[in-house]
Amino acid sequence: MAKHVSIETISAYIDGEAKDPRAVALHLQGCAECARLQVELSKLSTHLNALPEPEVRRDFARDVTAIVADDRAQRMRRWMPATAQIALAAALILAVGLMFALRDEPSEVPSIVAENRVAEETPGVSMEDHILNQLSQAALEDTSGTEVVLVAGLAGSGANSSGVSTDDMVAVLASTGMLNELADEWSASEDYDTALASLNQAESQKFHQLFATYSRNAVLGDYDYEMGGAIGW
């Protein structure tokens, strides 16, 4: 039986993001089943694109500007002591306001990404946030298998720049569901073999133990096979 291309490949091909679009096109010409799937996904895409865009109410932008002005005014009022508003000159009021504003600002200004992450905002940076930030940063670098290497590296080495123990790190990842999520996605990713191949045997074994302990997915069975095939055990 001829080998089919994965739905992931067809999906990426539709979006112009396939690694080898020529090879995909050639396959689709000769495979009725894959060609039918491509047509169905393309039709779906067409209908999604045709979903109506809601009309935004006319005064939306004006309301935002008003909210923003109110927000700014409230923040300024909080920073200025009440007595300063009565007696002092504008320059002195501004100086006192700035003094209070600087004192209320955190000493290390969090980035926009940190302020708006899905995890609850905390005044400091918790261990969990630190680990998640490391993983997020690695993800942003978009290096093939970066997350795999990072997790396995942290697990395998037992020492990392954050000063967090391997067991703590693993516990955090497990509690946030990240390990299950990552296992679920990596098993379907074409980058998976490449990622595993980049690990040395010790890291791979540790990584495998990590998933064996924490993963709830049946895909773990495939992991055993795939890992063995990928790294030549």
118 binds other proteins (CB under 8 A): yes
| Two tokens, residue 57 | 């109410």
Residues whose CB falls within 8 Å of the CB of residue 180, separated by 6 or more in sequence, listed in order: 214, 215, 216, 217
- Output the smallest distance, CB 138 to other proteins, in A: 9
Interface residues for other proteins in 16-75 (CB under 8 A)?
17, 40-41, 43-45, 47-57, 59-73
- Output the smallest distance, CB 167 to other proteins, in A: 25
Closer to other proteins by Cβ: residue 144 or 160: 144
- Give the angle subtended at the CA of 175 by the CAs of 173 and 179, to the nearest 5°: 40
Binding residue (CB under 8 A) for other proteins from 92, 125, 139, 212: 139
123 binds other proteins (CB under 8 A): no
Residues whose CB falls within 8 Å of the CB of residue 38, separated by 6 or more in sequence, listed in order: 10, 13, 14, 28
| Two tokens, residue 158 | 């037992």
Q: How far apart (Å, rounded) are the C-alpha atoms in residues 177 and 175?
A: 5
- Output the smallest distance, CB 32 to other proteins, in A: 16
Read off φ and ψ for residue 110, nearest 5 degrees: -70, 150
Helix axes of 178-186 and 146-157: crossing angle, nearest 10 degrees? 130
Closer to other proteins by Cβ: residue 10 or 227: 10
217 binds other proteins (CB under 8 A): no
Other CB atoms within a 10 A radius of the CB of residue 227 amount to: 19
- Output the smallest distance, CB 166 to other proteins, in A: 23
- Output the smallest distance, CB 190 to other proteins, in A: 7
Closer to other proteins by Cβ: residue 3 or 163: 3
- Output the smallest distance, CB 69 to other proteins, in A: 4
Closer to other proteins by Cβ: residue 20 or 70: 70
Other CB atoms within a 10 A radius of the CB of residue 184 amount to: 14
Other CB atoms within a 10 A radius of the CB of residue 171 amount to: 14
Binding residue (CB under 8 A) for other proteins from 144, 160, 176, 180: 144
Q: How many helices (H) and strands (E) does the chain have?
A: 14, 0
- Positions in the binding site for other proteins (CB under 8 A): 6-8, 10-12, 15, 17, 40-41, 43-45, 47-57, 59-73, 109, 111-113, 115-118, 136, 139-140, 142, 144, 146-147, 185, 188-191
